[in-house]
């Protein structure tokens, strides 16, 4: 290009460029960002060009390569303009199809366009994709929108206008003033106002007559690639920013410090610098002014600490990358002892638009204290991993869900790491936090340079802290003691905890150590090094304690604390790989015994368990999780086929100790079973006329046949447990009397008080709670159902009520739920089966009033809801849509929202339950099951609680706490059946809807024996290590 001497020259280049562009009918922009390069966009590019040629479209289709478009996870991506169609996950084959059908055939290939996982739909147009819709791109204005290698393209998008204008018509002080008024703050993380920094640089007097401006492009945070995106996608924006900065502070020389790991950035920036020099934009007499400015790239060797400004300067000077004492600050004594201003890449990318459009324009984005936009790199367990730019103050939840597309695999969000390895973790309780400097700092996190690492529920926070501390330990420069030795010791302690060798006092020591490192380290790296430890300890202390006391990693990450992910996920710690192997070897009864060692209800759980084991099954990463729950059911059913042949455990000799259990639900019976096997005399008191508790009356027959439950309870009784039915403690016998007659008491009364909705009309006749409904039907006390029923709630209870009502003859049943279907606590299978049975499900709807006639329910007033911000539990909250109310006439309403413990009788409110032992504050009294405040109210948790309490009760009674679980089983070698081809689950047999909707026959009749064995062979045997 010829030398550009003034603004008129720039305008000429712009016009020429636009003229040239007009001849193309279409432009295909292929993303050439680092993410797409690693997913082989070059092959796509080649195929595209070849195909365009093959179809004789060379004259009308222009193929060009851009910088990063942002959707790195969906790469390689391309954009067809002017249609605005955005294609993702391109391959050479798909791209040929697009050329044929779209470029030549004028037909949008929808199946290749962006897929929205929330909406479960393809969104062809870029402008409609929520990822782009919610962004404002200033620093990224050109990234992914133009040919990164073309300076003409940059100029055509008003590039270098700001610089030409400033150099010709403004004074240094004017530029400084513009930056000050814009409110732009350092995007490297600390957030120091850029204008003030430049002012200090401008006023600084250099004894040597030299000043420098330095661009910090030593982006080293794991999961951060914003600066890289800008350098690779729009290198001229950095040159222009530095030119303006150099002009403002009076520097004639600038350095760009880039890490060696960014070779593409170095090459593209280097080429841009050559272009700029050739055009006279760098050098002497720039744009006809008397300004001289030039740039040099310095490549760092990849030491993280060199991102710290004083270390960076040392590195440019050729010294070992170690920090220096501040003050003096770099603007006083910086590079080669001269005044130096250091800005981050993103900061510099914002400069030209601010100077061009004015500070007020910039201030119109963002918040008062944090103006403008911020670029973030989304990484981790997030659907749309990539680079985004949003106005400051956008909420964390919106970034994760609206732009980020939520969590991969529909898992639950657990935490987000902001500000790199030395930043902090924020939890689901903080999704409403506006992302700006102040708000994040208030929560103990930092904005940092913009790396956001999203972690899902399968993340172990202790392991995460260990990982980040390990990173920092590795990157510590070694100059000052607290960082050098302190990070090493923190890492060792954390490693110990994740290996199950944590000790009491470790957390306190960690805290003391972390606080000292934070206070005494020399530079920012060391001072923030303990942040991962401090912030995870603050928000996830419980998880640390579980590792240290329980030796359990809830997320199933820490390998030394588990035999396999499925076992680890099971609250009762059932040896899943063991019984699956026995099953595949045809040893069904042995398999039953292996399950029964840890859980006395195999057949029951095989039907109704929430099976967290399957969620963590590694096979799920290949194709589909092993159907562990159904396999368990098969084993149970097979073993119990003859009730006189139930395999049993022989109890130990009587100990003479007596234990009373209150409540014959799963928790009470489990506890009783294990205690009886130890030789203790156990009496169970049950209010109802049948044992089983909620398993009996709370779960309808079509899901859990009463006969199955009865067999497993009978097996428990055979161990010597005495169950006293129709005996309500507090009424038929006093709690004190129970305590009097026993050496220990286990309270497992469950949660049976229904919560109220708090809407008018709840006292009308025809309104009942879900549990009350199921109980009266389950105990066959009253089988009447209203003709038109509305059920409120989204859990299993609500769905069970609805399906029971259908079976009992209700004409119409509607389930009303206030959130979306994705968020329903009931299983997707249950919901689908309910629909098949004719049940209507209204989501994002809630009741406002129960309408009565003559004191009886006659209808329900409902209102539509919409998603708003985020609740403390991380779920999207919903709110009424004003004016969307409507009425459904009905004869009965069942509220199935939540249950509470009945505190009246047992004064459990006054009992503090120890999380790790189940012991209460009352001597000899233990408690567990649903009343345990730490539990999720599911059967398997109740069973696990009962078992653990049996151990602790035995210890309390002077025993060893070693349960008598029966004999040992040698698990055979798993057959080596590695199959290369994926294979989805074998299917169980489901009753067709017409055979089930009007009766209580079991809907799922389980596996055929052959299928069960086949399914068992799908196990990957993670326990074999």
Residue (54 or 560) nearer to other proteins, CB? 560
Residue 82, preceding bond cis, omega within 30 degrees?
yes
Q: What minimum distance in Å lies between the beta carbon of 547 and other proteins?
A: 18
Contacts with other proteins, 454-473, as mask; x by CB under 8 A: -------------------x
- Say if CB 82 and CB 145 are below 8 A apart: no
- Say if CB 639 and CB 646 are below 8 A apart: yes
Q: What minimum distance in Å lies between the beta carbon of 328 and other proteins?
A: 9
Instruction: Tell me how far CA of residue 755 lies from CA of 699, 759, 815, 900, 1018, in angstroms.
Output: 19, 12, 18, 7, 43
Question: In angstroms, how far is the first alpha carbon of the chain from the final one?
Answer: 63
Interaction between residue 478 and other proteins (CB under 8 A): yes
Q: What minimum distance in Å lies between the beta carbon of 221 and other proteins?
A: 17
Collapsed DSSP state (helix, strand, coil) of residue 284: coil
By CB neighbour count within 10 A (0-12 exposed, 13-18 middle, 19+ buried), where does 955 fall? middle
* Segment contacting other proteins by CB under 8 A, of 50-58, 506-514, 788-796, 912-920: 506-514
In the numeric block, which tokens belong to residue 362?
């910039």
* Segment contacting other proteins by CB under 8 A, of 224-232, 516-524, 643-651, 1008-1016: 516-524
* Segment contacting other proteins by CB under 8 A, of 62-70, 92-100, 505-513, 540-548: 505-513
Distance between CA atoms of 809 and 790, rounded to whole angstroms?
14
Q: Are strands 413-418 and 424-427 parallel, antiparallel or unpaired?
A: antiparallel
- Among residues 121, 173, 267, 509, the one that binds other proteins under rule CB under 8 A: 509
Residue (529 or 813) nearer to other proteins, CB? 529
Residue 649 burial (CB count, 10 A)? 21
Interacting positions 322-361 with other proteins (CB under 8 A): 322, 325, 327
Kindly tell me the sign of the dihedral angle through the C-alpha atoms of 264, 270, 271, 272. Answer: positive
- Say if CB 628 and CB 604 are below 8 A apart: no
Interaction between residue 528 and other proteins (CB under 8 A): no
* Segment contacting other proteins by CB under 8 A, of 521-529, 696-704, 773-781, 961-969: 521-529
DSSP per-residue letters across 695-712: HHHTS-TTTS-HHHHHHH
Interacting positions 677-716 with other proteins (CB under 8 A): none
Distance between CA atoms of 665 and 682, rounded to whole angstroms?
15
In the numeric block, which tokens belong to residue 772?
């009350």
- Among residues 27, 357, 432, 485, the one that binds other proteins under rule CB under 8 A: 485
Q: What minimum distance in Å lies between the beta carbon of 89 and other proteins?
A: 40
Residue (185 or 518) nearer to other proteins, CB? 518
Residue 358 burial (CB count, 10 A)? 14
Interaction between residue 442 and other proteins (CB under 8 A): no
Interaction between residue 492 and other proteins (CB under 8 A): yes
Sheet strand arrangement including 340-344: 294-300, 253-259, 212-217, 340-344
Q: What minimum distance in Å lies between the beta carbon of 983 and other proteins?
A: 46
Strands (E) across 702-855 are located at 721-724, 744-747, 751-754, 767-769, 788-792, 812-816, 840-842, 845-853
- Among residues 527, 563, 898, 964, the one that binds other proteins under rule CB under 8 A: 527
In the numeric block, which tokens belong to residue 636?
């149970």
- Among residues 197, 259, 331, 518, the one that binds other proteins under rule CB under 8 A: 518
Residue 191 burial (CB count, 10 A)? 20
Residue (30 or 312) nearer to other proteins, CB? 312
- Among residues 168, 206, 432, 520, the one that binds other proteins under rule CB under 8 A: 520
In the numeric block, which tokens belong to residue 104?
């030549």
Interaction between residue 840 and other proteins (CB under 8 A): no
Q: What minimum distance in Å lies between the beta carbon of 512 and other proteins?
A: 6
DSSP per-residue letters across 858-889: EEEEEEEEEEEEE-TTSSEEEEE-TT--EEEE
Interaction between residue 486 and other proteins (CB under 8 A): yes
Residue (273 or 303) nearer to other proteins, CB? 303
Q: What minimum distance in Å lies between the beta carbon of 821 and other proteins?
A: 49
Residue (479 or 752) nearer to other proteins, CB? 479
Q: What minimum distance in Å lies between the beta carbon of 517 and other proteins?
A: 8
Size of the site for other proteins (CB under 8 A): 34
Interacting positions 368-427 with other proteins (CB under 8 A): none
Collapsed DSSP state (helix, strand, coil) of residue 488: helix
Residue (476 or 546) nearer to other proteins, CB? 476
Q: What minimum distance in Å lies between the beta carbon of 352 and other proteins?
A: 34
- Among residues 480, 640, 764, 951, the one that binds other proteins under rule CB under 8 A: 480
Residue 573's nearest CA partner among 931, 941, 961 is 941
- Among residues 152, 475, 688, 701, the one that binds other proteins under rule CB under 8 A: 475
Interaction between residue 476 and other proteins (CB under 8 A): yes
Instruction: Tell me how far CA of residue 817 lies from CA of 828, 836, 863, in angstroms.
Output: 14, 18, 11
Q: What minimum distance in Å lies between the beta carbon of 474 and other proteins?
A: 6
Distance between CA atoms of 186 and 524, rounded to whole angstroms?
15
* Segment contacting other proteins by CB under 8 A, of 31-39, 460-468, 518-526, 896-904: 518-526
Residue (36 or 483) nearer to other proteins, CB? 483
In the numeric block, which tokens belong to residue 84?
């605005």
Residue (324 or 680) nearer to other proteins, CB? 324
Residue (466 or 711) nearer to other proteins, CB? 466
Q: What minimum distance in Å lies between the beta carbon of 200 and other proteins?
A: 17
In the numeric block, which tokens belong to residue 652?
């130990």
Q: Are strands 658-662 and 876-880 parallel, antiparallel or unpaired?
A: unpaired
Residue 593's nearest CA partner among 177, 896, 971, 64 is 971
Q: What minimum distance in Å lies between the beta carbon of 320 and other proteins?
A: 6
- Say if CB 235 and CB 266 are below 8 A apart: no
Residue (475 or 930) nearer to other proteins, CB? 475
Residue (142 or 528) nearer to other proteins, CB? 528
Interacting positions 258-317 with other proteins (CB under 8 A): 303, 305
Residue (344 or 487) nearer to other proteins, CB? 487
- Per-residue DSSP letter, 747: E
What kind and span of H or E run contains 489? helix 481-498
* Segment contacting other proteins by CB under 8 A, of 520-528, 558-566, 663-671, 704-712: 520-528
- Among residues 364, 516, 907, 977, the one that binds other proteins under rule CB under 8 A: 516
* CB-based burial, 523-561: b 16+ in 10 Å, e otherwise: bbbbbbbbbbbbbbbebbeebbbbbbeebbbbbbbbbeb
In the numeric block, which tokens belong to residue 371?
């103006």
Residue (505 or 689) nearer to other proteins, CB? 505
Interaction between residue 497 and other proteins (CB under 8 A): no
Residue (523 or 950) nearer to other proteins, CB? 523
Residue 767's nearest CA partner among 803, 811, 801 is 801
Q: What minimum distance in Å lies between the beta carbon of 486 and other proteins?
A: 6
Interaction between residue 503 and other proteins (CB under 8 A): no
| CB neighbour list of residue 1003: distance below 8 Å, 6 or more residues apart | 702, 703, 833, 990, 991, 996
Q: Are strands 294-300 and 253-259 parallel, antiparallel or unpaired?
A: parallel
Q: What minimum distance in Å lies between the beta carbon of 465 and other proteins?
A: 17
Interaction between residue 908 and other proteins (CB under 8 A): no
Residue (451 or 482) nearer to other proteins, CB? 482
Q: Under the rule (CB under 8 A), what is the footprint of other proteins?
A: 303, 305, 320, 322, 325, 327, 473-489, 492, 509, 512-513, 516, 518-522, 527
């Amino acid at each position: 290009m010829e030398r550009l001497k003034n603004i008129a020259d720039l305008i000429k280049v712009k016009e020429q460029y636009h003229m040239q562009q007009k001849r193309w009918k279409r432009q295909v922009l292929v993303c050439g960002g680092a993410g797409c390069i690693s997913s082989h966009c070059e092959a796509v590019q080649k195929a595209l060009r070849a195909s365009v040629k093959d179809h004789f479209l060379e004259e009308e289709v222009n193929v060009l390569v851009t910088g990063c478009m942002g959707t790195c996870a969906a790469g390689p991506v391309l954009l067809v303009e002017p249609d605005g169609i955005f294609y993702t996950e391109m391959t050479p084959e798909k791209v040929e199809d697009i050329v044929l059908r779209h470029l030549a055939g004028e037909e949008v290939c929808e199946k290749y366009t962006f897929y929205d996982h929330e909406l479960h739909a393809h969104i062809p147009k870029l402008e409609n994709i929520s990822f782009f819709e919610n962004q404002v791109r200033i620093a990224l204005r050109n990234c992914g929108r133009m040919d990164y290698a073309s300076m003409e393209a940059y100029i055509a998008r008003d590039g270098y206008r700001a610089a030409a204008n400033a150099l010709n018509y403004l004074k240094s002080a004017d530029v400084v003033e513009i930056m000050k008024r814009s409110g732009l703050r350092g995007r490297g993380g600390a957030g120091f106002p850029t204008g003030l920094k430049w002012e200090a640089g401008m006023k600084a007097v250099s004894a040597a007559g030299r000043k420098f401006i330095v661009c910090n492009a030593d982006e080293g945070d794991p999961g951060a690639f914003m600066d890289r995106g800008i350098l690779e996608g729009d290198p001229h924006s950095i040159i222009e920013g530095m030119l303006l900065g150099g002009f403002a502070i009076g520097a004639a020389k600038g350095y760009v410090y880039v890490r060696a790991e960014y070779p593409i950035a170095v090459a593209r920036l280097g080429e841009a610098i050559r272009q700029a020099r050739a055009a006279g934009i760098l050098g002497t007499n720039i744009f006809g002014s008397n300004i001289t400015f030039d740039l040099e790239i310095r490549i760092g060797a990849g030491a993280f600490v060199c991102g710290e400004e004083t270390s960076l300067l040392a590195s440019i000077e050729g010294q070992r990358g170690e920090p220096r004492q501040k003050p003096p600050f770099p603007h006083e004594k910086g590079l080669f002892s001269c005044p130096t201003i250091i800005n981050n890449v993103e900061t510099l990318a914002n400069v030209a638009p601010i100077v061009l459009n004015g500070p007020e324009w910039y201030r119109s984005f963002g918040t008062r204290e944090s103006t403008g936009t911020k670029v973030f790199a989304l990484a981790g367990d997030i659907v749309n991993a990539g680079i985004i730019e949003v106005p400051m103050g956008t909420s964390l939840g919106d970034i994760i869900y609206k732009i980020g597309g939520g969590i991969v695999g529909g898992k639950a969000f657990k935490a987000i790491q902001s500000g790199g390895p030395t930043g902090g973790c924020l939890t689901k309780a903080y999704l409403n936090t506006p992302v700006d400097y102040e708000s994040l700092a208030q929560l103990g996190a930092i904005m940092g340079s913009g790396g956001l690492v999203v972690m899902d529920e399968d993340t172990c926070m202790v392991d995460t802290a260990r990982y980040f501390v390990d990173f920092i330990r590795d990157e510590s420069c070694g100059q000052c003691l607290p960082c050098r030795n302190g990070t090493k010791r923190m890492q060792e302690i954390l490693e110990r905890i994740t290996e199950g060798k944590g000790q009491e006092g470790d957390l306190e020591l960690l805290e003391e150590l972390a606080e000292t490192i934070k206070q005494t380290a020399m530079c920012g790296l060391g001072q923030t090094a303990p942040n991962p430890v401090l912030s995870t300890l603050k928000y996830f202390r419980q998880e640390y304690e579980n590792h240290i006391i329980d030796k359990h990693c809830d997320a199933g990450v820490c390998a030394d604390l588990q035999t396999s992910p499925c076992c680890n996920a099971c609250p009762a710690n059932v040896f899943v790989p063991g019984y699956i192997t026995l099953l595949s070897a045809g040893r069904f009864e042995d398999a039953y015994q292996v399950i029964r060692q840890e859980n006395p209800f195999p057949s029951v759980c095989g039907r109704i368990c929430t099976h967290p084991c399957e969620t963590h099954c590694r096979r799920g990463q290949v194709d589909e999780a092993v159907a562990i729950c159904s396999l368990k059911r098969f084993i149970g059913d097979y073993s119990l086929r003859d009730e006189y042949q139930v395999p049993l455990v022989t109890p130990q000799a009587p100990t003479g100790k007596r234990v009373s259990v209150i409540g014959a639900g799963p928790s009470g019976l489990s506890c009783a079973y294990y205690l009886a096997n130890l030789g203790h005399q156990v009496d169970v008191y049950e209010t109802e006329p049948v044992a089983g508790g909620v398993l009996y009356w709370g779960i309808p027959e079509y899901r859990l046949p009463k006969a199955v439950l009865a067999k497993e309870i009978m097996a428990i009784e055979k161990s010597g447990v005495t169950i006293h039915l129709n005996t309500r403690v507090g009424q038929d016998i006093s709690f004190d009397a129970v305590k009097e007659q026993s050496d220990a008491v286990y309270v497992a009364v469950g949660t049976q008080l229904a919560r109220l909705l708090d809407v008018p009309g709840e006292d009308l006749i025809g309104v009942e709670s879900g549990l009350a409904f199921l109980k009266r039907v389950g105990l066959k006390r009253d089988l009447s159902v209203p003709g038109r029923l509305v059920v409120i709630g989204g859990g299993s209870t609500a769905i069970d009520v609805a399906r029971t009502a259908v079976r009992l003859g209700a004409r119409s049943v509607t389930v009303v739920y206030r959130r979306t279907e994705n968020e329903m606590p009931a299983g997707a299978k249950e919901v689908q089966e309910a629909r098949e049975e004719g049940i209507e499900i209204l989501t994002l709807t809630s009741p406002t009033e129960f309408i009565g006639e003559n004191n009886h329910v006659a209808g329900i007033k409902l209102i539509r809801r919409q998603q708003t911000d985020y609740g403390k539990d991380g779920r999207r909250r919903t709110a009424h849509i004003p004016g969307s109310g409507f009425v459904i006439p009905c004869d009965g309403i069942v509220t199935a929202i939540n249950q509470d413990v009945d505190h009246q009788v047992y004064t459990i409110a006054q009992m503090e339950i120890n999380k790790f032992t189940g012991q209460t504050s009352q001597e000899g009294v233990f408690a567990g099951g649903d009343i345990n405040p730490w539990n999720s109210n599911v059967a398997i948790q109740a069973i696990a609680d009962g078992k653990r309490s049996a151990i602790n009760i035995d210890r309390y009674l002077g025993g060893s706490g070693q349960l008598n679980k029966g004999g040992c089983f040698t698990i055979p070698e798993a057959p080596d059946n590695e199959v290369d081809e994926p294979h989805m689950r074998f299917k169980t047999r489901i009753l067709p809807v017409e055979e089930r909707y009007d009766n209580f026959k079991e809907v799922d009749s389980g596996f055929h024996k052959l299928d069960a064995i086949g399914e068992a062979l799908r196990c990957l045997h993670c326990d074999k290590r």
